[in-house]
Chains A and B, each alone.
Chain A
Amino acid sequence: MTTRTPSQLAAQLAGLDRPEDEAARQELIIGALGDRSTPVRDLAVAWAARCLEPARLVPLVADEADSILRNAALAALERQGPYAVSQVESLTTTADADLAMFACQVLGSIAHGSNPEPLLAALARPEVNVVQAAIEALGRLRMREAVPTLAALLTRDPWLGLAAADSLGSIGDAGAVPALVSIPPDSLIASPALDALRRIGSPSVLRALLPRLTDPAWLPHRAALVEAVSGALAAGEPSDELTALGAAMERDHSVGGLWHLLSDWLADGVGDSLEGPPERDDRAQRRGGSPTVQAAGAMVLAAQVSSLLPLVVRWGATREGLSWLGPLAERYPSGIEAALDRLLAHPDHEVRAGALRLAPPRTVGRERLVGALRDGASEVRLAAINALAVLADPAAIEALLGSLGGEVAAESSAAARALARMPAAPLDAALHPWLEVGEPEARLAAALTVMADVYLEGLAPRVVELAGGTAGTVRRLALRAAAKIPGSRAEVVLIRALADRDPSVQVEALELLVGRGNERVVTTFIALLSVADSLRYHVIRALGRLGDRRAAPALEALFSSAAFHEQLEICGTLGRLRAANCRAFLVDALASTQDEVRHAAAQALMDVAEPEDIEVIRKLAADQDWVLRSEAARGFGRLGLAEARPVLLDLARDIEPAVARTARAALAGHP
């Protein structure tokens, strides 16, 4: 049992910060690396990465007696990352096989700075555990240079073959396909090789794999085969082979056949049978569909297995399902197109909704889509509205207005978006009655929601009138619609709203003006900086988003009299403006007595820094404050200066992980 807590260890380490304490500190760290308490050890690993040279850590990795210490030392080396790479690489050639194996594992964990040579050389060692570690490391690092050697290892030794197949899958290079495809069905690595092919996802495998789906010799691997084929289908094209396979499946629905397998997978995915609404609906828990369902779905779409389409198409009713099914349906549209009438008449509303989402709207056609607006299920109506939006056929405006004024909020919003995509002239005419004086607030609000996305010239005067009038929802929506109207009249209404008594209206108007973003808006905002109210915070930030550098001097002038929270935003805004002439101001702000101002100034400075600021950044890199060190790492990363590399290597093993990660990211893009 440990006698200390992480807090106690941190306090002890903090007390050993003089140069003469260095030896004692290192001993304390090494002792804590072997502590039984995980939190204590985690802290020790962070300090070891920072304070112990790789040469000191490496012997600890070789300690056979204490596995806790060995693993902690490994973790510290991993954490040192690029700083430790050359030392760890040299260990891959050591005579101690265990040490060489660990070295390969560490290299696999250090994404940056590794070159393939030491690991490729380790593949030639006689010790199987070293070779396996090297294979795995090459896979983790996705080193394409290793593909030919790994492919050759597939058949050398079963265990090495397993590791090689896995690594080839991780690397994902199509160069491995011939070797993987050549693995026979009776091999121990037949299924792992198919899994690697799935991950590689090259359409070139289809010609070899499709016949295997009906080959009895491959029966034990059929699940892996289907998944491998589905991986390739994502980038494949419709073909006669696929169509023939689908026809063959439709002829054989016997138990144990391929059709039956896919049917099982798809039914397991939704927990019900082919026809009729589901009895036990657990789709809510598995909305996206498992990898098995997705594999089966790809096969059914690509091979046009009509009888299984309902079980696939229903996944299109959910956003998660649509994300994988949508691209497949675009690539292989024929099956759904041919079965459209049957799918749209299916008793399960999710099949109907899925079909509407997956089929090209032009194929479905306006009449069927408008008809679907009368479906009893909201999901189907919603899918129809979205398809009508793509179609943008003005003949659908009247039907969509019905949905706009309906009681289902999601349908009303979707109808507003769909209407906004219609041609302006007929839409203008159709919405005119909705905006007349005396219309109920709900109708006004619905029409204005449409107009937040589209400018309708004929209705502009009425919108401006409503935006300048009464408070409440209608005015807020009218302001949004007014933001679409070009010219000064609408702009004046929005600028007036900046002085509204309701702060939320002020902020809304500000946002809308930012969206318009012209010179007058910038001038107005700069003028508003002199008004010390709650809006000024938003104005400062809005100026940053407008990106007009003329605002920089006004912001700098405001800084000393601004409130603390405004000062932080002024720094941030100057950074966003990328105003190079504000560098001197930001450097001055680094001398602030308030940490947060220094942080904000450093962050902004790193966005605008030039190579001549290297000394300022170097100082930040050596600061006690980790936020400043992190900003320095980011700044050096942005500038890409060769002379900053040693500083970044040092920061890459910073005690603070956020600094170390930032430095590593900077090094990854460094020359």
Chain B
Amino acid sequence: MIAGTEADWKLLTDLIEERFGLSFGGARREILEGRLQSRLDALRLDGVRTYYHYLLAHPCREVEFGELTRRITNNETYFFRETAHFDAILQQVIPEIRPRLEGRPLRILSAACSSGEEPYSLSIRLTDAGLEFSGCRWEIDACDLNPARVEQARAAVYDGLSFRALDEGLRTRLFEPNGDGRFRLKERYRRAVRFFQANLAAPFSGAGWGQYDVVLCRNLLIYFGPASFDRLIGRFGELLFPGGYLFLGHAESLIDRGPGFAPVHFPGTMGYRRVVEAA
């Protein structure tokens, strides 16, 4: 158990939320404590406030924020998780948006993509649907806070739990053996996906960002506090083309969270269309 007062924990969790958007208040404080205990032991720090000071002021603070990133991000993901979103994009969103593309590629952002299973799943669906043969080009950008996960995503090598929703036949069709007992996604599914490291809680600037027709940000906002939630939704609004779609995880909702997005029902799921302001 890490020593700390109510104020100590709030200072630390506020700092983490300010920096990464992730909320560790309430019952999630225990999760944070579990992830930090060994780190504090390694740094020989004896309490929450000392660690907070370390992150705030120590000359090695940026290195430590990197270490913290690796510890607090949730990497739970697998191929073809919550496929109703992919169906909605393929069967309803793309036909709706396509006339507006005017020759440019359809652009999709997979935010908080972890080790890449989500953007690659979408890439597989779009590739296998033969979208490009029908004249619709597309690109997927994917970002994550954790640089190690981004590297893993670029490598596209997977095993075990990543395949929990895939049967053997599908895995054999989509992947090739990597020579170490793991499997690498075939090149034709990798080539249209571009990965970059990004902190969604920080202002969107610099390399990586563009304008998108669809943004997927699933199962991240459940870890965000209200203020960070609102900020990020506002930023997604800026990233999306007018009429573009935002897809969140099933446990996340924009209902009653402001006027920037209108909920749209799809079979088995829901998306949010960026509201086009009246001229």
B6 and A661 contact, CB distance less than 8 A? yes
Asked if B194 is an interface residue, CB under 8 A from chain A, the answer is no
When distances are taken between beta carbons in the complex, the residues of chain B under 8 Å from A565 are 53-54, 56-59
When distances are taken between beta carbons in the complex, the residues of chain B under 8 Å from A631 are 7
When distances are taken between beta carbons in the complex, the residues of chain A under 8 Å from B6 are 630, 658-659, 661-662, 665
Report A585-615 residues with CB < 8 Å from chain B CB.
596, 599-600, 603
A37 and B49 contact, CB distance less than 8 A? no
Interface string of B203-230 (1 = CB under 8 A from A): 0000000000000000000000011011
Asked if A541 is an interface residue, CB under 8 A from chain B, the answer is yes
A5 and B257 contact, CB distance less than 8 A? yes
State how many angstroms separate the Cβ of A490 from the closest Cβ of chain B. Answer: 21
When distances are taken between beta carbons in the complex, the residues of chain B under 8 Å from A564 are 57
A596 and B53 contact, CB distance less than 8 A? yes
Closest to A569 in B: B53
State how many angstroms separate the Cβ of B263 from the closest Cβ of chain A. Answer: 10
Asked if B181 is an interface residue, CB under 8 A from chain A, the answer is no
Count A/B pairs, Cβ under 8 Å. 84
Asked if B11 is an interface residue, CB under 8 A from chain A, the answer is yes
A37 and B5 contact, CB distance less than 8 A? no
On whether A7 and B50 interact (CB within 8 A), knowing A596-B57, A658-B6, the answer reads no
Report B1-48 residues with CB < 8 Å from chain A CB.
5-7, 9-11, 44, 46
Asked if B255 is an interface residue, CB under 8 A from chain A, the answer is yes
A569 and B7 contact, CB distance less than 8 A? no
Asked if B168 is an interface residue, CB under 8 A from chain A, the answer is no
When distances are taken between beta carbons in the complex, the residues of chain A under 8 Å from B57 are 563-565, 568, 596
Asked if A561 is an interface residue, CB under 8 A from chain B, the answer is no
Asked if B103 is an interface residue, CB under 8 A from chain A, the answer is no
On whether A39 and B7 interact (CB within 8 A), knowing A565-B53, A565-B57, the answer reads no
Report A641-671 residues with CB < 8 Å from chain B CB.
656, 658-659, 661-662, 665
State how many angstroms separate the Cβ of B183 from the closest Cβ of chain A. Answer: 25
Report B159-212 residues with CB < 8 Å from chain A CB.
none
Binding site secondary structure of chain A: helix
Closest to A10 in B: B227
Asked if A553 is an interface residue, CB under 8 A from chain B, the answer is no
State how many angstroms separate the Cβ of A5 from the closest Cβ of chain B. Answer: 5
B50 and A662 contact, CB distance less than 8 A? no
Closest to B47 in A: A572
A541 CA to B58 CA, complexed, in Å: 13
Closest to B60 in A: A534
A634 and B255 contact, CB distance less than 8 A? no
Asked if A285 is an interface residue, CB under 8 A from chain B, the answer is no
Closest to B227 in A: A7
Interface string of A536-564 (1 = CB under 8 A from B): 01100100010000000000000000011
A659 CA to B54 CA, complexed, in Å: 23
A534 and B257 contact, CB distance less than 8 A? no
Interface string of A628-643 (1 = CB under 8 A from B): 0011001000000000
A569 CA to B6 CA, complexed, in Å: 19
A538 CA to B54 CA, complexed, in Å: 11
Asked if A405 is an interface residue, CB under 8 A from chain B, the answer is no
CB within 8 A of B258: which of A5, A10, A596?
Answer: A5
B227 and A596 contact, CB distance less than 8 A? no
Asked if A179 is an interface residue, CB under 8 A from chain B, the answer is no
A634 CA to B7 CA, complexed, in Å: 10
Closest to B8 in A: A603
B49 and A658 contact, CB distance less than 8 A? no
When distances are taken between beta carbons in the complex, the residues of chain A under 8 Å from B229 are 39
When distances are taken between beta carbons in the complex, the residues of chain B under 8 Å from A656 are 10
A2 CA to B259 CA, complexed, in Å: 9
Asked if B76 is an interface residue, CB under 8 A from chain A, the answer is no
State how many angstroms separate the Cβ of A453 from the closest Cβ of chain B. Answer: 18
Closest to A510 in B: B44
A584 CA to B44 CA, complexed, in Å: 30
A572 and B49 contact, CB distance less than 8 A? yes
B49 and A6 contact, CB distance less than 8 A? no
A6 and B230 contact, CB distance less than 8 A? yes
B10 and A658 contact, CB distance less than 8 A? yes
Asked if A507 is an interface residue, CB under 8 A from chain B, the answer is yes
* Chain B residues within 8 Å of chain A by Cβ, number: 26
When distances are taken between beta carbons in the complex, the residues of chain A under 8 Å from B259 are 3
Asked if B256 is an interface residue, CB under 8 A from chain A, the answer is yes
A549 CA to B256 CA, complexed, in Å: 57
When distances are taken between beta carbons in the complex, the residues of chain A under 8 Å from B230 are 5-7
Closest to A656 in B: B10
Asked if A95 is an interface residue, CB under 8 A from chain B, the answer is no
B53 and A538 contact, CB distance less than 8 A? no
On whether A630 and B5 interact (CB within 8 A), knowing A2-B256, A565-B58, A658-B10, the answer reads yes
A569 CA to B255 CA, complexed, in Å: 46
When distances are taken between beta carbons in the complex, the residues of chain A under 8 Å from B5 are 630, 634, 662
Closest to B13 in A: A658
CB within 8 A of B256: which of A36, A661, A662?
Answer: A36
A603 and B49 contact, CB distance less than 8 A? yes
Report A182-198 residues with CB < 8 Å from chain B CB.
none
Closest to B258 in A: A5
A569 and B50 contact, CB distance less than 8 A? yes
Asked if A255 is an interface residue, CB under 8 A from chain B, the answer is no
B58 and A537 contact, CB distance less than 8 A? yes
A325 CA to B155 CA, complexed, in Å: 47
A3 CA to B258 CA, complexed, in Å: 6
A572 and B50 contact, CB distance less than 8 A? yes
When distances are taken between beta carbons in the complex, the residues of chain A under 8 Å from B258 are 2, 4-5
A541 and B54 contact, CB distance less than 8 A? no
CB within 8 A of A37: which of B10, B46, B257?
Answer: B257
Asked if A511 is an interface residue, CB under 8 A from chain B, the answer is yes
Asked if A627 is an interface residue, CB under 8 A from chain B, the answer is yes
A631 CA to B231 CA, complexed, in Å: 30
A541 CA to B40 CA, complexed, in Å: 14
Report A316-355 residues with CB < 8 Å from chain B CB.
none
A524 CA to B44 CA, complexed, in Å: 20
Residue among B7, B11, B44, B230 with most chain A CB within 10 A:
B7
State how many angstroms separate the Cβ of A92 from the closest Cβ of chain B. Answer: 30
When distances are taken between beta carbons in the complex, the residues of chain B under 8 Å from A658 are 6-7, 9-10
A283 CA to B125 CA, complexed, in Å: 38
A2 CA to B253 CA, complexed, in Å: 14
State how many angstroms separate the Cβ of B229 from the closest Cβ of chain A. Answer: 8
When distances are taken between beta carbons in the complex, the residues of chain B under 8 Å from A1 are 255-256
Asked if A399 is an interface residue, CB under 8 A from chain B, the answer is no
Report A245-267 residues with CB < 8 Å from chain B CB.
none
When distances are taken between beta carbons in the complex, the residues of chain B under 8 Å from A572 are 49-50, 53
Residue numbers of B with Cβ under 8 A of A are: 5-7, 9-11, 44, 46, 49-50, 53-54, 56-59, 226-227, 229-231, 255-259
24 A-B contacts (beta carbon < 8 Å)? A1-B255, A1-B256, A4-B258, A5-B226, A5-B257, A37-B257, A39-B229, A39-B257, A40-B256, A534-B59, A545-B46, A564-B57, A565-B53, A565-B56, A565-B59, A568-B57, A569-B53, A572-B50, A600-B53, A603-B7, A630-B7, A658-B7, A658-B10, A662-B5
Which 8 A/B pairs are nearest by Cβ-Cβ distance? Answer: A565-B57, A630-B7, A37-B256, A658-B6, A658-B10, A39-B226, A6-B226, A568-B53
Beyond A6-B227, A38-B256, 15 additional contacts (C-beta under 8 Å) are A1-B256, A2-B257, A5-B226, A42-B226, A507-B44, A565-B56, A568-B57, A572-B53, A596-B57, A600-B49, A600-B53, A630-B5, A656-B10, A658-B10, A659-B6
